Amino acid sequence: MKQGNDGITARMNMKGEIVIEKIPTHYDANTDLQETQRKLFKDTIAQWNALSDQEKEEWREKASPYGLTGYQFFISQNMPHIATYKVTIDNTGGASLSDYQILIAINNDTGFFADCDSKKAAIRIYDSDKTTPLSYWIEEWDTYIKNARIWVKVPSIPADDKKYIYVSIDTSRTEDASDGDATFLFYSDGSDTNWENVQYTTITNNFSDAILENTIRFYNPTNSDLAEARRAIDLGVSKYEMYMKFRTVSLGERDQSFVGIFKDSHSNRYTQIYLPTNDNQSTAKYRVDDSLYVLCSYNEGEVYITKHKVDETDTASGMAYYLYSENYTLLGSAIGKAKAYGSPSGNANYLYVGDGTRYGYVDLRMKYVFFKKYAATEPSISYTKE
């Protein structure tokens, strides 16, 4: 066999034939992911070495049923896991979108939750370059049935095309980066202290509710005219959707609570939905030009999500109402409706919550409310593990 300087070798095989071969070049794999894995492995070994003899013995006892050494079991349980999921935003047939909120729906995905070690803090989301962080908010994180709803604010989505973003998973992360304020046009939850006390409604932030923790409670147990509260909003767009998660609690009075998007105090209203606060009432209703219409059946005390779609440029048919169960099963909808009352025009100024029939009784517990941009053609979202 003869080897040249260029790594080419020539040899004669058993048949007397000359075989020319190139010796494979050996190199040390050095991708960013591999380097990260090496560092994490070294860090985990350092954690093992820092354990006392007693602590190592405890790990040996834990490992015994699995046929592993204490060291092997410790590494398997403490070595951070890294994974990446590619999210496809298919905007075929749609217009270009900017700062648009998309929903990544994780449904019964045991693999995704295993990669995350069931920790919300493990995830971060990046733009197409895999380095620019994107704002996101986790609406749902159910480690039992392995469901999640993750809203992401995407800076730009091209028209009639696809775009890719990435969910990065690193179980060594400890801080949850979910941020509703940074993700949506407007966001409010139990930490929001900027609701105004209009008339008589008592607002209690972070109200402890056995069903909805960390809520805002809109409460008035007496017969008072116009018991309601409001929150100033400044959306900056004319087409949007509002989502609110809530439940109403009976005060033993025949009354209704309401949620509405108003131009001003009362004269001009884009949307308004009415919710029973008594077991004797059984339907949710919506308002169109000062008349009420049944949306769907409603059981006081259960958790619901209401969605309002608003097109402020089309007060004749640009409103829509939806009511969902807590798991987003659609219970009823009313699409292509006119504004609720008066002659609203221009950007809405307030979100109102309160008594709907001027009898004062209100007990509505809100988990969160958020506003997102609306698109006539919604992009479809899917994801795969890389």
Structural domain includes residue 22: no
Who has greater pLDDT, 256 or 103? 103
Pair (46, 173) in one structural domain = no
Higher pLDDT, 314 or 227: 314
Residue 3, domain member (yes or no): no
Q: Are 281 and 297 in contact (CB under 8 A)?
A: no
| 210 or 187, higher pLDDT | 187
At residue 241, the 3 state secondary structure works out as strand
pLDDT for res 7: 57
Work out the average pLDDT over 364-378. 95
Indicate whether 376 pLDDT > 60.
yes
Comparing 229-233, 296-300, 358-362, 373-377, the range with the smallest average pLDDT is 358-362
Question: Is 293 within 8 Å of 283 (Cβ atoms)?
Answer: no
3-class SS shares of the chain: helix, strand, coil, % to 5: 15, 45, 40
Residues 91 and 170 in one domain: yes
Whether pLDDT at 360 is above 80:
no
Question: Residue 347 belongs to what domain range?
Answer: 186-373
Domain membership flag for residue 234: yes
**322-334 average pLDDT score:** 97
**Domain end point (choices 154, 183, 212):** 183
* 280 and 303 fall within a common domain: yes
Residue 192 lies in a domain: yes
Q: Is residue 20 part of a domain?
A: no
Residue at a domain's end among 183, 202, 226: 183
Of the given ranges (3-7, 117-121, 226-230), which has the lowest mean pLDDT? 3-7
Average pLDDT over residues 219-229: 82
8 lies in a domain? Answer: no
Q: Average per-residue pLDDT in the chain? A: 89
Is 178 found in the same domain as 229? no
CA nearest to 274, candidates 357, 361, 369: 357
Residues 229 and 274 in one domain: yes
Identify the residue with better confidence: 379 or 197.
379
Q: Mind listing the pLDDT tens digit for each residue in 46-55?
A: 989 999 999 9
CATH at residue 89:
2.60.40.1180
Tally the C-alpha atoms within 13 A of residue 133's C-alpha that lie toward its C-beta: 10
Same domain, yes or no: 150 and 105: yes
Kindly state whether residues 67 and 91 are assigned to the same domain: no
| pLDDT at residue 25 is higher than 60 | no
In this prediction, what percent of the chain has a pLDDT beyond 90? 66
Cβ neighbors of 160 (< 8 A, separation 6 or more) are: 91, 92, 93, 94
Do 206 and 285 lie in one domain? The reply is yes
Q: How many domains does the chain have?
A: 3
pLDDT band at 349 (very low <50, low <70, confident <90, very high): very high
Comparing 107 with 26, which gets the higher pLDDT? Answer: 107
Note the maximum CA span of the chain.
Answer: 107
Q: What's the pLDDT score for residue 365?
A: 94
